[in-house]
């Protein structure tokens, strides 16, 4: 199991555009990536700071994560953020393993 939690802050003038781009990316993940490899992919906005976004993703293993990062839709998202000059400030990123539910109980 390979989990990722990211917190990213964007400039206020870029908030809505970034929100739309990230929403599109998560919808592509849900539509295109095998559910036995990308187990969950969530996108949230901080209730106390609208310029901060939280992403939570769970992958079957490191190889599934590597496939996700190499996918055409993810690479499009990366190119798009760079081309539009969206400045992301990564305020945290964690790799984690599941405790509850255990890896064998994950659905």
Please state, rounded to an integer, the average pLDDT across all residues of the chain.
87
Q: What is the pLDDT of residue 101?
A: 78
Q: What is the pLDDT of residue 24?
A: 93
As a residue count, the chain comes to: 107
Q: Chain-centre distance of CA 43, in angstroms?
A: 7
**Six-digit token string for 100:** 């509850």
- Residues 72-99: tens digit of each pLDDT: 999 998 898 888 888 777 777 777 777 8
Q: How far apart are CA 4 and CA 20, in angstroms?
A: 21
Q: Chain-centre distance of CA 30, in angstroms?
A: 11
- Residues 52-71: tens digit of each pLDDT: 998 888 898 889 999 999 99
CA-to-CA dists, residue 80 to 9, 35, 39, 74, 106, angstroms: 17, 25, 25, 10, 33
């Amino acid at each position: 199991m390979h989990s990722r939690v990211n917190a990213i802050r964007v400039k206020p003038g870029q908030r809505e555009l970034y929100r739309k781009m990230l929403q599109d990316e998560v919808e592509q993940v849900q539509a295109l990536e095998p559910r036995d490899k990308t187990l969950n992919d969530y996108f949230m906005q901080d209730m106390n700071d609208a310029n901060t976004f939280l992403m939570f993703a769970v992958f079957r293993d490191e190889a599934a994560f590597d496939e996700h990062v190499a996918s055409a839709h993810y690479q499009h998202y990366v190119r798009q953020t760079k081309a539009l000059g969206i400045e992301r400030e990564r305020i945290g990123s964690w790799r984690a393993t599941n405790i509850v539910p255990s890896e064998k109980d994950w659905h």
